[in-house]
Structure 1
């Protein structure tokens, strides 16, 4: 097997040696074509500028235009879109007079697209450092355009950040204004409602209940005081009647006795009736504290109280009718009354005054008790209304507080951007004048040309060898004829043939030397002229 491989390799080498002139010719032609292609290709120069994204170091906040967690690529991508926009690139093209030929043959939109897609390269290589590259045929313009693109990064970033900070601050300020209006409106409604129903609010219920209990206690004391004074008044009236009776018996005879008996009987009836009325009123007030006016016991007691008050009024009218008759009789008795009777009358008048005052106080206390009862009964209703009214107040207040904090942060961020203290781009390596073109690459072109020349020459050599039907080896002949070869005779040339072969070899050698020398000389010449850059 190894022997067969060696024979095959030897066969291929023999083919190359026999066809060496064709392979060398292909090599020379390839080198000449490669050199010509390099000389004809336009020179393209490339400039790069390194830019660093320097984050802000002064009080970064949530409202800053640049979130501290955002990556450099997002920021670079945003600013790159602005720099490579049609407006920006068209301004650069006109400023540096780029693509003059293309502009005369193509619309400006297509020229901008070519510049954006083929000639500008913006990429992030490592960390917060990225590069801006531009390529073109004029090295000076390439350098200037690259530096202009890098400067635009700084300019556009500052403008973009300040605009965004200003818009953010304005938006938050508007939201804060609307939230404040809504909160003020809500607080005004709550304030008016609380002022209107202050005493009926749930937080006043305990106070109202305490005041109501105190008033009920005072009312009970007032009733007791009135009853005591009424009893005292009845006793004083009885004493006065007894004194009058004694004086009547002593000085007035029958008339005085009749007057005394009549006064004594009327006093007893009036005192008994007054005690019943006071007792019924006290019971009615006690029942009203526990039951409503529709309760049967309350209704019954009210009816009885009206009857007793009617009897009391009738007795008062009867007493007024007999007043004239009594005046004449009393005039006689009064002239005969002793000083103690006068003191008792003064005491009786004082008791009447105090009773009237207590009754007036009782009416005031009844009104106050009714008022406090109304407030206590309305407390659950006001509590439900207040809960419905203040249901969303807490959310409005929290939202307002958040907007206040955001507005402060937004204004701080805006001031930071106006002072250019925020995150910004910084050129750490500006573009320099390109000494060598970026493309075409002489070494690559010549390597490709040599490879193609050798490939074409070798391919032709092997192709001609395949279509050649002559036998080169005895083994091929034996395999074809199936007859053993006894001996192989080398080619025998005549003198004329030898001379012709020698002339052909000399001619080929001259052509090879001249071609190689010409290619080498041309390469050295163009290299010295600066047209070939290695």
Structure 2
């Protein structure tokens, strides 16, 4: 600590040797700074205050029905982004600032000065904004602030309208896109249903249930077929065991008939007529009945030929005249017809069952594709409905803005025409200039003391040279030297006091002039 104090004292002693240089330089710097401050052009600041009222009665009433953006946040963002190059160029035209502009360089300089000079100040947590601009000409400052107020209000209202219009256009475009997607999805579902109508069925039963039903029907038909076959076989056994009754012979040229086959043919023809009333020619029951009729007719022709060859036509006619035999033959024919019909029905159910089993293998894939189509359609439908609802909400928001106004711009203080300059603050700048002069004087004395150093005592000499100092010689203070020293101190102090007094007087004069 002692070494530090000794070093500081050494610096001060060295600076004291060149105090007159420092005082002279302080005067030069202070006077030059004072002249510069005095010659600085006056700037006049024009201000205006705007209040943005974002509290509307319609906002709570239309909550949930209309889109209500954060107006406070939008206004705050507007105040921060209003001073942009496009707005500044528009402001130059509105305030007629480009009348004296001749070159692009001058226009760029004007844009730069306006961008730096325009100010938008806002009170914290309030929508009260202060617009300010300072210029060397008060009327031009007022024009700039007036144009800035108009631009602020128009930007606020215009941005809301532009945002609303852009949002509506975007929603309309999206609605058209989703409407097209919805139509395409509906067409895909329709084409898929038409293409797989047989597989989809009526939608009320699945193929597992249908297979179970057809299987039950097939089992029932097979059971009835076996019953019919057993009944037919029993009748055939009865006919084989009965002894025919011989009757008188019929003329040889009379028509030969076989009651058993004729009865069956008649029964089958009646059944065929009944089937043709409900089915087509390609129905399995119709085809099977016709085939049985043809077989019976062929069998009849074959038996007649055999009987004629054996000469038993008269005996056969006698048998035909037996009533019991004829009834049994008719019953047997009906049983044969029923067996044929049931066999055809069982075959049809068997074919249906095989077809259903084959189709059932394709059902999972078809159902998955159908589910995918329905899922796409549901997504498009939900998005379409949501967009339509949002469009109505946006339309209602625009109408609400037009009717009640979500934000109201009120000019509380119009742009003022300044009569007194707002800058520069010479009363504040002059003391700063005086302090700057003193600091320059101190800096100069320190610099000279470092360039022309001197040793104030033997210790500093020993530390610098590294040589032993045997002793020091003191200077005797005579009366003449003391008197000279006092006069020097008095002169230096007078110079410092005069320096401070001159700046104080300048400040007083400026106050009187501005006062």
TM band (smaller chain): 0.5 to 0.7
**How far did 1:130 drift?**
7.8
2:351 aligned with 1:375: no
- The one-character-per-residue Cα deviations of 1:392-417 (angstroms, maximum 9, x if unpaired) are 54244234313422441243134313
C-alpha contact (below 8 Å) 2:34/2:430 kept by paired residues: yes
Q: Give the equivalent residue in structure 2 for 1:190.
A: 192
2:106 aligned with 1:119: no
- The one-character-per-residue Cα deviations of 1:143-176 (angstroms, maximum 9, x if unpaired) are 3134224213422331232133213312431332
Tell me the distance in 1 between the aligned counterparts of 2:83 and 2:103. 22
2:235 aligned with 1:232: yes
- The one-character-per-residue Cα deviations of 1:174-222 (angstroms, maximum 9, x if unpaired) are 3321330232122113311331434599923312331232133123213
> Aligned residue pairs: how many?
444
2:63 aligned with 1:94: no
Over the aligned positions, Cα root-mean-square deviation in angstroms equals: 5.6
Tell me the distance in 1 between the aligned counterparts of 2:500 and 2:121. 50
Question: 1:47 aligns to what SS in structure 2?
Answer: strand
Tell me the distance in 2 between the aligned counterparts of 1:119 and 1:311. 119
- The one-character-per-residue Cα deviations of 1:44-82 (angstroms, maximum 9, x if unpaired) are 52636466594965667799584x6x993x87547865x
C-alpha contact (below 8 Å) 2:46/2:415 kept by paired residues: no
- The one-character-per-residue Cα deviations of 1:8-48 (angstroms, maximum 9, x if unpaired) are 899799889x959x959956983685365245324052636
Question: 2:480 aligns to what SS in structure 1?
Answer: coil
Tell me the distance in 2 between the aligned counterparts of 1:333 and 1:462. 163
Tell me the distance in 2 between the aligned counterparts of 1:354 and 1:207. 31
Q: Are residues 174 and 360 of structure 1, via their aligned partners in 2, closer, same or farther at CA, if it must alter by over 3 Å?
A: same
Q: Give the equivalent residue in structure 2 for 1:40.
A: 40
**How far did 1:427 drift?**
5.5
TM-score (norm 1): 0.62
Question: Structure 1: which 5+ runs fail to align?
Answer: 257-266, 271-309, 474-478, 494-500, 529-534
**How far did 1:353 drift?**
3.4
Tell me the distance in 2 between the aligned counterparts of 1:203 and 1:227. 37
Match of 1:321 among 290, 293, 306: 306
Q: Give the equivalent residue in structure 2 for 1:175.
A: 177
Equivalent positions of 1:304-453 (< 5 A) are: 317-322=302-307, 325-329=311-315, 341-342=322-323, 344-346=325-327, 348-388=329-369, 390-391=371-372, 393-420=374-401, 424=407, 432-433=415-416, 437-453=421-437
Q: Are residues 167 and 27 of structure 1, via their aligned partners in 2, closer, same or farther at CA, if it must alter by over 3 Å?
A: farther
TM-score (norm 2): 0.64
Question: 1:440 aligns to what SS in structure 2?
Answer: coil
C-alpha contact (below 8 Å) 1:121/1:134 kept by paired residues: yes
Equivalent positions of 1:19-98 (< 5 A) are: 23=23, 26=26, 30=30, 33-34=33-34, 37-45=37-45, 47=47, 49=49, 54=54, 66=69, 72=73, 76-77=76-77, 81=81, 83-98=82-97
Tell me the distance in 1 between the aligned counterparts of 2:120 and 2:505. 43
**How far did 1:367 drift?**
2.3
